[in-house]
Chains A and B, each alone.
Chain A
């Protein structure tokens, strides 16, 4: 996700816009869409509800598209020329996180890639990209894909996420064949009688699903899920505090064209074959950073006391040497205190290192902290 609104473009609405307004949501412009930042109960309650029960999110602003080529090998190789993940060995029904890279190895966007299960879909890869970057991403891919691999936008689809410890059993009541799915598994099935494509994934650190559905069925699905008393609607405010506690990157803030996947601590998303073979944009830089270490790295930061340190806060050593900057920071309701992440020089990146965050000109003591701040509870 990334925030950016272009004033010269009309504001867009997701198929669930009227539902949000009807629920009393406070709507704000986000990535060109009029989106719910919170419902009347507020961000803290929504955050805690998601950690304890199940939260329902409208993420239909995100970009859904499909790459279509003659066979899996051809389509996978075409995408591998743009991203550092192993797409060739992605199994049917499996989803993987990756990044579109610039020729300098910077991150143009991060995305999810799914290989469909049905053999009739051989040669297809389903993509989900950030709302604010989708036009640029599609243009970038279309300019670089070979002639036999096409990018087909799926603007006629909505995307919902249900997240939290109760999410799986709620979804299983509506679609029993989902119960045994593991984290990052995907499936085409029927949910409440509607055709959906779901993946066991999300952006909160909790177990749950992201559910792709035809735009015209979105309201029916939203209402069917909200009918369960364990499910409450959750806005972008809590989505941000949940992902921050989970240590997950927000595009345009924690990662962008100036950061490489190695600096960002995303080496886990580059599988062994790709690390060795290269063959993706910026491979020389990324292989060098894997071998020698990056000069700066993304770390978790735990401020002492109660004061949050926000994005843009300078980071120094206790003796005043400037060593980095906070890229996301705020209050973590589950941690019940301030949490942040940012980039620091590698020599001060060890967990436990004492640093200062310069909040409103005053040094706020903080320690480099392990992430996630709230433990991941994925279904393995």
Chain B
């Protein structure tokens, strides 16, 4: 199981040909209190970089982009009732969607855990 990150602070945790997508702990801390999450419909086909979801804090709305191409297998519909889970556990229970990867080679262009932590340090 490996986790990869984008420069826009999405993560994808890969298991076999599926990946769980969410926003990083740094991203949730920057957004502040999450009050609404809009999730894609199951079965939707996403290309890398497509707008996959929307996360709204008290202050603003932010897009969540697909870190890799794939088909939406499952969404975390519990976030509709309790969006604050994204703040409490962004990397765990606050996941957004699971996708079936259609081009796993795209993952090579994303940051590793270590590279991402360096990246966060460089911008904060």
Interface residue ranges, A against B (CB under 8 Å): 37-38, 42-45, 47, 237-238, 240-241, 306-308, 310, 330-331, 333, 338, 360
What is the interface size of chain B, counting residues whose CB is below 8 A from a CB of the partner?
Answer: 14
- Cα A199 to Cα B51 in complex, Å, equals 48
- Cα A238 to Cα B36 in complex, Å, equals 17
Say yes or no for B123: interface residue by CB 8 A criterion: no
Say yes or no for B1: interface residue by CB 8 A criterion: no
Segment of B52-60, B88-96, B98-106 engaged in the interface with chain A: B52-60
Chain B residues with CB below 8 A from A241, complex form: 58
- Cα A331 to Cα B38 in complex, Å, equals 14
Identify which of A44, A240, A307 contacts B33 (C-beta below 8 A). A44
Say yes or no for B50: interface residue by CB 8 A criterion: no
Chain B residues with CB below 8 A from A360, complex form: 38, 54
Chain B residues with CB below 8 A from A310, complex form: 60-61
**B70-90 interface mask toward A, CB cutoff 8 Å, 1 = contact, 0 = none?**
000000000010010000000
Say yes or no for B46: interface residue by CB 8 A criterion: no
Query: Nearest-CB distance from A362 to chain B (Å)?
Result: 9
Query: Nearest-CB distance from B81 to chain A (Å)?
Result: 9
Beyond A43-B32, A43-B33, whether A307 also contacts B60 by CB under 8 A is no
Beyond A237-B58, A330-B58, A333-B58, whether A308 also contacts B32 by CB under 8 A is no
Interface residue ranges, B against A (CB under 8 Å): 32-33, 35-36, 38, 54, 56-61, 80, 83
- Listed by A's residue number, 18 A-B pairs whose Cβ atoms lie within 8 Å are A38-B32, A42-B33, A43-B33, A43-B58, A44-B33, A44-B35, A45-B33, A47-B58, A306-B83, A308-B36, A310-B61, A331-B35, A331-B36, A331-B56, A333-B58, A338-B36, A360-B38, A360-B54
Asked if residues A44 and B58 are in contact (CB atoms below 8 Å), the reply is: yes
Query: Nearest-CB distance from A336 to chain B (Å)?
Result: 9
Asked if residues B33 and A308 are in contact (CB atoms below 8 Å), the reply is: no
Closest to B33 in A: A44
- Cα A43 to Cα B61 in complex, Å, equals 15
Asked if residues A308 and B56 are in contact (CB atoms below 8 Å), the reply is: yes
Asked if residues A307 and B59 are in contact (CB atoms below 8 Å), the reply is: no
Q: A44-B58, A237-B58, A240-B59 are in contact. List 11 more A-B contacts (CB 8 A).
A: A42-B32, A43-B33, A43-B57, A238-B58, A306-B36, A307-B38, A308-B35, A310-B60, A331-B56, A333-B58, A360-B38
Chain A residues with CB below 8 A from B83, complex form: 306
- Cα A310 to Cα B83 in complex, Å, equals 18
- Cα A240 to Cα B58 in complex, Å, equals 10
Chain A residues with CB below 8 A from B54, complex form: 360
- Cα A37 to Cα B33 in complex, Å, equals 13
- Please give me the 6 A-B residue pairs with the lowest Cβ-Cβ distance, nearest first: A331-B35, A44-B33, A43-B58, A42-B33, A306-B36, A331-B58
Chain A residues with CB below 8 A from B60, complex form: 310
Chain A residues with CB below 8 A from B35, complex form: 44, 306, 308, 331
- Cα A333 to Cα B54 in complex, Å, equals 19
Chain B residues with CB below 8 A from A43, complex form: 32-33, 57-59
Chain B residues with CB below 8 A from A44, complex form: 33, 35, 58
- Cα A338 to Cα B58 in complex, Å, equals 10
Beyond A307-B38, A308-B61, A310-B61, whether A237 also contacts B56 by CB under 8 A is no
Chain B residues with CB below 8 A from A37, complex form: 59
Beyond A306-B80, A360-B54, whether A237 also contacts B59 by CB under 8 A is yes
Beyond A306-B80, A307-B38, A360-B54, whether A330 also contacts B59 by CB under 8 A is yes
